[in-house]
């Protein structure tokens, strides 16, 4: 329930900002002199809302962030952790077996294994390429390697040597997790320093950092909702999200603060056109990778970047724009 509503809203939001983007072409294509943002009688409904009620619109990203915190809170209450860790972050065994002749019924395999190895925590997923099963991944903790192999062979038949098995000790797993978290925090601080050095103004820099923060939190909440188990590669994706999402914010801030041509709204729309093209190309490429890939590592990286980039559209073009406009208004710079 919660999930579908959230997703629908996300989609709606996306459409909204896309619409205002396509509408924005109208003033741009007319001659330079006759548009001033104060005479927006002709502006369409969405761009009117976007331009006049930007402070109210900020409620959308704020609510999204709040909702994400609630989701994460629920996850903590339910599982005791703010994200579901894969075995590469908590220790355990990952067993991958390729589909050789006939498809493996992974659900049956899971229940089989669960009844066979009752003591461990266990899950089975499918690896597929274009919807065709390529193999199954079994993640288990608290089970011995040999037991797991034997039980799996019993359930699906002998697969000989053609399997991959990763086994990580629990204490090393816990330390991996701690360090990955540390890496994320460090990366975030470094990012903040770079942004501050670049713009040398407090509010716009904080706005960029806030957008990156929201993207990460929203992406984390969605992965929680999807029940996705985050592996070390997933953490790398969160880090990458910092890099990916910040460039549209930097583009926006640069165009708004450092350029002088046109009105403020024109500069915002100009940046939006560039920024949305950037986001859309990446979203398209990431979606393709997600559909085509047969690797669990790549699928997880792409899912997290995809969610984060969608969140970034809202956080950049509603939240960051609003903060910048409010900041300039306060500073008394008129459009």
Partner 1 sequence: MSKIKNIFTHWRVIIVLVFLILSVASISPNPWNEGATIRFEAKNSSAAIAGIENPTFGGTPMSKETILSINNKPITNAKDYFDFVTGLPPNKTITIRSDKGFYKLVTKPEYNITILDETELIRVTEQVFNETLNETVNITRVEEVQKVKKDIIGTEDLGLVVYDAPTNNIRKGLDLSGGTRVILKPEEEVNQEELDLVVSNIKERLNVYGLSDIIVRTTSDLEGSKFILVEIAGANKEEVKELLAKQGKFEAKIGSTTVFKGGDDIKYVYRRAECAGIDPNSACGPSGDGWNCRFRFSISLSTAAAQKQADTTKYLSVVTEGSDTYLNESLDLFLDDQKVDTLRIGSELKGNAVTEISISGGGFGSNQQSAMADALNNMKKLQTVLVTGSLPVKLTIVKTDSISPMLGSEFIKNAVLIGLLAIVAVVVVVFIVYKKLVIALPMVVTMISEAIILLGFASIIGWNLDLAAIAGIMVAIGTGVDDQIVIADEVLRGEKGVFISWKDRIKHAFFIIMAAFFVTVVAMIPLWFAGVGILKGFALTTILGVSIGVFITRPAYASVVEILSK
Q: Which of 133, 201, 263, 295 binds partner 1 (CB under 8 A)?
A: 295
Give Cβ neighbours of residue 46 (< 8 Å, ≥ 6 apart). 16, 19, 20, 23
Max alpha carbon distance in the chain (Å)?
A: 77
């019924």: which residue's tokens? 105
Q: Do 173 and 87 form a contact (C-beta atoms < 8 A)? A: yes
Among the listed ranges 39-47, 55-63, 166-174, 215-223, the one in contact with partner 1 (CB under 8 A) is: 166-174
Question: Cα(72)–Cα(84) distance, rounded to whole angstroms?
Answer: 10
Q: Which is nearer to partner 1, 226 or 292 (CB)?
A: 292
Contacts with partner 1 in 34-73 (CB under 8 A)?
Answer: none
Among the listed ranges 5-13, 51-59, 178-186, 312-320, the one in contact with partner 1 (CB under 8 A) is: 178-186
183 binds partner 1 (CB under 8 A): yes
Q: Which of 78, 277, 329, 331 binds partner 1 (CB under 8 A)?
A: 277
Q: Which is nearer to partner 1, 56 or 258 (CB)?
A: 258
Query: Least separation, in Å, of the C-beta of 102 and partner 1?
Result: 17
Contacts with partner 1 in 105-144 (CB under 8 A)?
Answer: 129, 134-135
Nearest residue to 170 via CA among 83, 79, 92, 80:
92
Q: Do 232 and 89 form a contact (C-beta atoms < 8 A)? A: yes
Interface pattern 78-97 for partner 1 (x via CB under 8 A): ----------x-------x-
Contacts with partner 1 in 240-259 (CB under 8 A)?
Answer: 240, 242-244, 246-247, 250-251, 254, 258-259
163 binds partner 1 (CB under 8 A): yes
The gap between the terminal CA atoms of the chain, to the nearest Å, is 43
Q: Which of 67, 203, 236, 328 binds partner 1 (CB under 8 A)?
A: 236
Specify the 3-state DSSP secondary structure of 53: coil
Among the listed ranges 2-10, 73-81, 117-125, 167-175, the one in contact with partner 1 (CB under 8 A) is: 167-175
Q: Do 23 and 47 form a contact (C-beta atoms < 8 A)? A: yes
Counting residues that bind partner 1 (by CB under 8 A) gives: 74
284 binds partner 1 (CB under 8 A): yes
Q: Which is nearer to partner 1, 57 or 88 (CB)?
A: 88
| Helix residue spans in the chain (DSSP H) | 2-23, 25-29, 45-52, 54-57, 59-79, 87-90, 106-116, 145-156, 170-199, 202-226, 232-258, 264-292, 296-314, 321-330
Tokens for 115?
Answer: 């009844």
186 binds partner 1 (CB under 8 A): yes
Question: Cα(183)–Cα(188) distance, rounded to whole angstroms?
Answer: 8
Q: Which is nearer to partner 1, 72 or 235 (CB)?
A: 235
Among the listed ranges 2-10, 114-122, 296-304, 327-335, the one in contact with partner 1 (CB under 8 A) is: 296-304
Tokens for 124?
Answer: 């089975």
298 binds partner 1 (CB under 8 A): yes
């Amino acid at each position: 329930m919660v999930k579908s509503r959230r997703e629908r809203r996300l989609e709606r939001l996306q459409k909204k900002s896309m619409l205002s983007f396509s509408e924005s072409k109208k003033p741009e294509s007319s001659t330079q002199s006759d548009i001033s943002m104060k005479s927006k009688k002709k502006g369409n409904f969405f761009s009117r809302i976007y331009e006049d009620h930007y402070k109210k619109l900020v409620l959308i990203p704020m609510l999204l962030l709040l909702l994400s915190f609630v989701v994460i809170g629920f996850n903590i209450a339910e599982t005791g952790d703010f994200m579901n860790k894969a075995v590469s972050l908590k220790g355990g065994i990952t067993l991958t077996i390729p589909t050789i002749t006939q498809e493996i019924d992974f659900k049956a395999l899971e229940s089989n294994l669960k009844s066979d190895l009752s003591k461990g925590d266990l899950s089975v997923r499918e690896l597929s390429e274009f919807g065709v099963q390529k193999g199954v991944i079994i993640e288990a903790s608290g089970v011995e390697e040999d037991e797991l192999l034997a039980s799996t062979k019993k359930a699906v038949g002998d697969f000989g040597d053609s399997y991959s098995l990763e086994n990580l000790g629990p204490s090393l797993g816990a330390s991996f997790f701690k360090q990955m978290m540390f890496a994320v925090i460090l990366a975030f601080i470094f990012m903040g320093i770079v942004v501050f050095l670049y713009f040398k103004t407090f509010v716009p820099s904080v706005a960029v950092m806030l957008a990156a923060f929201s993207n990460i939190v929203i992406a984390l909440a969605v992965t929680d909702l999807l029940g996705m188990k985050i592996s070390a590669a997933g953490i790398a994706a969160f880090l990458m999200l910092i890099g990916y999402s910040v460039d549209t914010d930097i583009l926006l801030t640069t165009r708004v603060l450092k350029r002088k041509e046109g009105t403020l709204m024109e500069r915002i729309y100009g940046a939006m056109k560039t920024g949305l093209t950037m986001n859309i190309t990446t979203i398209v490429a990431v979606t393709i990778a997600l559909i085509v890939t047969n690797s669990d590592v790549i699928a997880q990286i792409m899912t997290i970047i995809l969610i984060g980039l969608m969140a970034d559209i809202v956080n950049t073009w509603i939240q960051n724009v609003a903060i910048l406009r409010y900041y300039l208004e306060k500073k008394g710079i008129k459009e």
